[in-house]
């Protein structure tokens, strides 16, 4: 090669050295930052994928944090509901103990009543003080709003457990397809009760959905007195009696196919046309008869055109993102009202809204109505639990049987709310957490694969570039000797 003052070899080596130095600097940056992509030129396509995955991972992390907080909030509510359930069970024990007033003194019943008052106050205190992050959970603050309910005499004890995320109110149309009925049976064709009386003592076994008991009817009892004897134990049996124009009728105290009536004549049962006359033959139409077990029926109800689950007069509906329950009034449920249809509105407001996923379509809203004693029970013929306090209509002194029915209804109501809340916590929030954790793991792995530095590869590349840089520097010294060679020729 000719010797010229333009040293092309040096120029080429200098370019190579610069490229090797830049590559060495890039690898050094990757090792120091831990990132394979530190600028767009490092990997343009990888950068686009990395940014998209980072955004998705950020949303997943936020959603996971939301759900973990939601799970903690629901755990607080569940614990309080569990304590309310325990208090209600203690109230039930006290009420049950007080039903046997023959074995208790007035002082003992008064002591039981004082304990019941304390327990009811404790329930209301828990309702008012259960909160999470400054928000009360059980006092109705998170209740889903409704309209047309307070003035609707066809339904009562409405609870809305969840609603859709629609921004429009939802009209709920309740249609009675078939009426509910009481379990009913005729005890005897015994009309004109003032003159028709029993001849001899009679013992009857009355059985209903609440239990069975025997009653004794003295000789010479009129039909009105027989009715009174049956009704004295109706809170124990769930069976009541009425005197019709020509017969005695037994009915269940509640509606539904779970209700039944059964009577067995254990002894006696003979009825005379006029007390004191010759005894009529046993088994005649006027005598008190065995009654085979007869059952009532549930109402057949449609809600917004969909057949709802009904237990007597208690209606449960799930559809269109809405879950609710209510009790039909006895007039509407039994078909005595003129119109078979009634309506109310579930508003697109209220409730506790939870973000389950990473998009707006993954929100869910549940309702937490008040569980104060003045809100518990009160449906399906029962009295509000607050009336169990001293001086209330179902205090232990005034109506212990009514108190027992009210407490049982309240226990079932709290258990229902707790079960629904637990179902939402497990199957909605819990499953969302599990899914988000899996997504978080997968996205983190993908982000790492694309953007994180592979240290083994990078260190190997750094060593390679170091060798190349050092070689380039050494060769620069060789090619730079060309200038001295030219000067030697001139000399």
For the chain, the structural domain boundaries read 182-295
Tokens of 229: 């004897």
The residue with tokens 């009336």 is: 387
Residues 6+ apart with CB under 8 A from 318: none
How high is the pLDDT of residue 52?
A: 87
CATH architecture for residues 182-295: Sandwich (2.60)
For CA atoms 277, 278, 284, 288, the dihedral sign is positive
How many Cα atoms are found within 13 Å in the side-chain-facing hemisphere of 232? 11
Q: Measured at the alpha carbon of residue 427, what is the angle toward residues 318 and 137, in degrees to the nearest 5? A: 80
Spell out, as residue ranges, where the chain has pLDDT lower than 70.
Answer: 1-7, 101-103, 189-196, 245-246, 272-286, 483, 491
How high is the pLDDT of residue 398?
A: 84
The 10 Å CB-count burial string (b at 16+, else e) for 344-375 is bebebebbbebbbbbeeeeebbbbbbbbbbeb
Check: CB of residue 421 under 8 Å from CB of residue 142.
no
How high is the pLDDT of residue 276?
A: 45
Rounded to whole angstroms, what are the CA distances from 414 to 80, 81, 96, 371?
11, 7, 19, 8
Q: List, for residues 422-463, the tens digit of each pLDDT value.
A: 999 999 999 999 999 999 999 988 888 887 787 888 888 888
By CB neighbour count within 10 A (0-12 exposed, 13-18 middle, 19+ buried), where does 40 fall? exposed
**Closest C-alpha among 63, 13, 142, 71 to residue 429:** 71
Check: CB of residue 351 under 8 Å from CB of residue 140.
no
Check: CB of residue 185 under 8 Å from CB of residue 294.
yes
How high is the pLDDT of residue 461?
A: 80
**Closest C-alpha among 199, 221, 189 to residue 281:** 199
User: CA-to-CA distance for 60 and 43, rounded, in angstroms?
Assistant: 25
How high is the pLDDT of residue 36?
A: 81
Q: List, for residues 219-236, the tens digit of each pLDDT value.
A: 888 888 888 999 888 878
CA dihedral 254, 373, 411, 69 (to 10 degrees): 140
3-state secondary structure the chain: CCCCCCCHHHHHHHHHHHHHHHHHHHHHHHHHHCECCCCCCCCHHHHHHHHHHHHHHHHHHHHHHHHHHHHHHHHHHHHHHHHHHHHHHHHHHHHHHHCCHHHCCHHHHHHHHHHHHHHHHHHHHHHHHCEECCEECCCCCECEEEECCCCCCCEEEEEEEEECCCCCCEEEEEEEEECCEEEEEEEECCCCCCCCEECCCEEEEEEECCEEEEEEECCCCEHHHHHHHHHHCHHHHCEEEEECCCCEEEEEEEECCCCEEEEEEEECCCEECCCCCCCCCCCCCCCCCCEEEEECECCEEEECCEECEEECCEEEEEECCEEEEEEECHHHHCCCCCCCEEEEEEEEEECEEEECCCCHHHEEEECECCCCCCCCCCCCCCCCHHHHCCCCCCCCCCCHHHHHHHHHHHHHHHHHHHHHHHHHHHHHHHHHHHHHHHHHHHHHHHHHHHHECCHHHHHHHHHHHHHHHHHHHHHHHHHCCHHHHHHHHHC
Rounded to whole angstroms, what are the CA distances from 129 to 21, 77, 132, 142, 473?
68, 11, 10, 14, 78
Rg (CA), the chain: 41
How high is the pLDDT of residue 195?
A: 60
How high is the pLDDT of residue 5?
A: 62
Rounded to whole angstroms, what are the CA distances from 121 to 53, 126, 323, 401, 411?
54, 9, 30, 21, 16
């Amino acid at each position: 090669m000719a010797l010229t003052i333009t040293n092309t070899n040096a120029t080429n080596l200098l370019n190579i050295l610069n490229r090797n130095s830049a590559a060495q600097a890039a690898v050094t940056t990757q090792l120091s930052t831990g990132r394979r992509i530190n600028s767009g030129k490092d990997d343009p396509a990888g950068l686009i994928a990395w940014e998209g995955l980072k955004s998705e991972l950020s949303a997943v992390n936020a959603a996971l944090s939301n759900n973990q907080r939601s799970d903690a909030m629901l755990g607080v509510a569940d614990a309080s509901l569990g304590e309310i359930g325990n208090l209600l069970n203690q109230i039930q024990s006290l009420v049950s103990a007080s039903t046997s007033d023959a074995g208790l003194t007035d002082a003992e019943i008064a002591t039981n009543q004082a304990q019941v008052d304390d327990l009811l106050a404790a329930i209301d205190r828990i309702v008012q003080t259960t909160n999470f992050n400054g928000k009360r959970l059980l006092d109705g603050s998170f209740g889903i709003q409704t309209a047309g309910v307070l003035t609707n005499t066809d339904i009562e004890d409405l609870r809305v457990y969840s609603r859709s995320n629609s921004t429009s109110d939802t009209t709920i149309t309740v249609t009675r397809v078939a009426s509910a009925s009481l379990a009913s049976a005729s005890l005897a064709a015994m009309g004109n009760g003032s003159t028709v009386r029993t001849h001899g003592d009679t013992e009857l076994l009355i059985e209903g959905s609440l239990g069975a008991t025997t009653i004794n009817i003295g000789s010479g009892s009129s039909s009105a007195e027989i009715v009174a004897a049956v009704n004295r134990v109706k809170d124990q049996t769930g069976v009541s009696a009425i005197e019709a124009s020509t017969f005695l009728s037994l009915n269940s105290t509640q509606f539904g196919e779970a209700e039944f009536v059964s009577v067995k004549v254990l002894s006696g049962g003979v009825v005379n046309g006029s007390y004191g006359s010759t005894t009529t033959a046993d088994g005649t139409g006027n005598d008190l008869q065995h009654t085979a077990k007869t059952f009532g029926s549930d109402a057949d109800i449609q809600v917004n055109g969909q057949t709802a689950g009904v237990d007597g007069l208690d209606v449960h509906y799930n559809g269109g993102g809405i879950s609710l329950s209510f009790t039909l009034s006895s007039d509407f449920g039994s078909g005595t009202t003129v119109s078979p249809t009634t309506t109310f509105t579930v508003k697109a407001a209220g409730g506790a809204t939870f973000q389950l996923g990473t998009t707006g379509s993954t929100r869910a809203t549940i309702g937490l109505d008040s569980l104060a004693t003045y809100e518990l029970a009160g449906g399906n013929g029962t009295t509000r639990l607050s009336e169990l306090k001293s001086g209330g209509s179902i205090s232990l002194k005034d109506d212990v049987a009514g108190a027992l029915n009210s407490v049982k209804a309240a226990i079932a109501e709290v258990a229902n709310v707790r079960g629904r809340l637990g179902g939402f916590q497990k199957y909605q929030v819990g499953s969302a957490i599990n899914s988000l954790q899996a997504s978080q793991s997968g996205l983190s792995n993908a982000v790492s694969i694309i953007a994180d530095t592979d240290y083994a590869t990078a260190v190997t590349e750094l060593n390679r570039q170091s060798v190349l840089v050092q070689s380039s520097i050494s060769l620069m010294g060789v090619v730079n000797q060309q200038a001295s060679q030219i000067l030697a020729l001139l000399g």
